[in-house]
Structure 1
Amino acid sequence: MQTRFLGRQQQPVSAIGLGCMGMSEFYGASDDAESLRTLARALELGINFFDSADTYGFGHNESLLGRFLKEGGPARRQQVVIATKFGIVRQPGKYERHIDNSPAYIRSACDASLQRLGIEQIDLYYCHRRNPEVPIEETVAAMAQLVAAGKVRQIGLSEVSAKTLRQACAVHPIAAVQSEYSLWTREPEREVLATCAELGTTFVAYSPLGRAFLTGAVHREQLAEGDFRKHNPRFVGEAEKINGQLVAELGRFASARGLTNAQVALAWLLSKQPHVVPIPGTRRIAYLEQNSGAVDVLLNEAEIAELDRIFAAERVAGARYPEAGMAGIE
């Protein structure tokens, strides 16, 4: 597996990471034993950058990773780079959330995450969403105290603007910005990607496969109960039809090259930006293995331009999230 690097510390991570959210919530029922096998296979493939958050499954996701690390012993902990997050506060059974960036909450959330993960230091600790009522300088200063205390190695932000990133970097180096970025979500290209490159901040792309819609294998009527995509604007009604036509074009592009849709979508990200690390999520080994193959796919300029054309912003239908999901996104 090829490597890329996190922030100014140049901490090496696999060029493709693993988003672990679906192992706990949002994508229908999951199986811990299957998830643990997938995590183990990821390491065998050289994928060592695992992404979690305290809100995923209300702590279950971190506990699952903690179990995986414990079962592998100290050697496994040395192999794995753990990223987790704080800031989204939810009630069980509800999608609505509020954002807490207060210093006291940050400290308590970090301690709780460390306990669930069973580790002494979080490799990368993100502010999951920003509360605009709390100055970013105050939030970052509290996170910097965790670095000084040895509880966190590097810090990151999620779904912030270029302006906020600059303000944050004036207080403490920001190793990574995590935001949605894929063929059908291109907002980071406006300003954030260039600012990250300038400041030495890695850009971590979540949902790089469009919540699996880009794979061509997901249809709303087949989604299980409890799958949040049933209510995602891009999966509903006329938007689903329009977006399905784009995915069909992607499928023709991929099949002509002997690739899967997912491999093309990930290769597009890797070929387009050298400081981007995509973190596709899956709990199944077969998809994990397919995704890992994207690192060996090199797209030329003409192919990248063709994919840019297929997924031009004006051709994509629907918002990224329901209204409640947009809380804290700049």
Structure 2
Amino acid sequence: MILPGILLVLKFISFAVASWVLIHLLAVFGVFLVVAYPLWWFLSPKTIPCFLCQVSKEGDLCRFCNLPVSKKDIHPKNLRSTLLNAFFILIFSIISIGLVYGESRILLKLGFPQAPKTVVFNIPPKAQFRIGEIFPMKIELFGIEKPINAVQADIGFDPGRVEVVDISEKESFAEVFIQKEINNKDGYARLTGGLPNPGFFSDHGIFGTIYLRGKEAGFVKVEFLPSSLVLANDGKGSNVLKDLASASYLILPEEITPEEKTQQKVLLDSVVLGEKTSRTKLEFFSEENVLGAEASVSMNVKKKPSFFAIPLGILEKIDRLILSLWSKILAR
């Protein structure tokens, strides 16, 4: 009983695959076959079949040829039959194009095509600072080819070498911020925000600025973590982040003077604290719970592509190629 069941499943799969291939071939070449069919009949009438004769029984009346069916001769008998068979191909070709279009809409709902990953974070690759010196690191995005509406920038660093003093949203293209975390114990910082439709679209933009302070002499690496996200404004929240940038800073053994510490505090207050009275950005986080060293580190697990992602992606490309072909033909 198991073997017949397996054979039945294999037959069904074979039929489904063959039907899919036939539909897509008709969607591409069906209209050309409509034109070619009468030409074949004129040049070599015995090489093409009459579809209604093919499926009818011996002796039945073929409505296309208007003659009794003979299985020894299932070719179009006259011009009327040839034109009706060509029209038959045309109808199925139009239906096939409609099915391909419907298939593409279903794939679009499932998240195909996926937005191309083009956005990169950009930070200065090298710099040097003294112990106690506060320096900015702008969170800047490049390669924005489609509007984006949400960004999550996760930063990792060596807490023994540097610490994050604050994160500023000044000059940011984002209008709403829902999360700001600073964890100097584990060496982690996060800024999450975005803006409503139609999103942000420019060749580059500043999302925020992180202010770090050197603690101990030596090299320190500051990098964007894999949990960082840049979401496209495509209705699906496609992550278009391509690469994760990193920078190496040299903390010199020399410490800044007390006068410089005072100047830094005044400057930081004017840049970070002063912005709160002038900006129109919305914040939905509590800084009392975030700015302390006990802020929790939450990491997003990177999802693996599903088993069906590759075949569905290929299917979407085929549909897009067929539809774009007819779009170009009809546009002429």
Structure 2 length-normalised TM: 0.18
More strand by share: 2
- Higher Rg: 2
More helix by share: 1
